[in-house]
């Protein structure tokens, strides 16, 4: 699985773990039973579109509003027999709904400052799960969240998909040229065999 950037804005305002957190924030995370920040925060413009950012499809398992008024989406995905839950939080509104299958680059919603937040941003986190959706390593100090760094490629998902479409288009044109060359060679061979 590759996770791309879900926003066009490329400013990571807070990373994963306690080393990326101001001491005052650590106290607030400890209040929730966390060792530190349990995901990545990406700065965003108000109402900036947020897209499904992996190279595979996912299933929306929940859209909700938490006790702080934060709007979020949880999406399940599978890759090489492993199961994951992806959370996108602090949205203004949802474009997707529970049960929906989302493809790479599909619009999920828009960024905002809802819930426990100090400014407009996208909180993006990742959990590894069993096949029934139960979070593994729930007691790891981050509520089971793991750093997305191992999976991350810092390219905006729509730019990645555009580049992929361009490559496919070039390959299709090359295939057409190869077909024409083969057809011409067969035609020449047929004429030569006929003249013998």
Q: How many domains are contained in the chain?
A: 1
At 168, the pLDDT band (50, 70, 90 cuts) reads confident
Tens-place pLDDT, residues 40-61: 999 999 999 999 999 999 999 9
Query: Would you list the DSSP string of 31-98?
Result: HTT-SSB-SEEEE--TT-EEE--BSS-EEEEEEEE-TTS-EEEEEEEEETTEEEEEEEEEEEEES--T
Which residues, including other chains, have CB under 8 Å from residue 98's CB and lie 6 or more apart?
Answer: 60, 61, 62, 63
Output 118 or 123, whichever has higher pLDDT: 123
| CATH classification at residue 13 | 2.70.70.10
Q: How many CA atoms lie within 13 A of 9 on its CB side?
A: 18
In a domain, 161, yes or no: no
Residue with tokens 């941003």: 121
At 102, the pLDDT band (50, 70, 90 cuts) reads very high
Range of the domain at 91: 3-155
């Amino acid at each position: 699985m590759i996770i791309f950037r879900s926003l066009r804005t490329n400013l990571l305002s807070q990373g994963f773990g306690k080393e990326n957190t101001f001491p005052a924030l650590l106290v607030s995370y400890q209040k929730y039973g966390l060792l530190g920040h349990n995901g990545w925060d990406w700065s965003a413009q108000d109402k900036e579109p947020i897209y499904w950012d992996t190279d595979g499809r996912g299933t929306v398992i929940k859209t909700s509003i938490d006790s702080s008024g934060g709007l979020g989406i949880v999406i399940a995905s599978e890759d090489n027999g492993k199961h994951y839950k992806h959370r996108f939080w602090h949205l203004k509104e949802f474009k997707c709904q529970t049960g929906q299958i989302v493809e790479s680059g599909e619009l999920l919603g828009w960024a905002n400052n809802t819930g426990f937040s100090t400014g407009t941003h996208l909180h993006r986190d990742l959990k590894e799960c069993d096949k029934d959706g139960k979070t593994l390593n729930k007691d790891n100090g981050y509520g089971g969240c793991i750093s997305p760094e191992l999976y991350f490629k810092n390219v905006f998902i729509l730019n990645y998909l555009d580049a992929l479409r361009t490559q496919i288009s070039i390959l299709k044109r090359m295939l057409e040229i190869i077909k024409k060359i083969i057809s011409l060679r067969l035609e020449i061979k047929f004429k030569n065999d006929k003249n013998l």
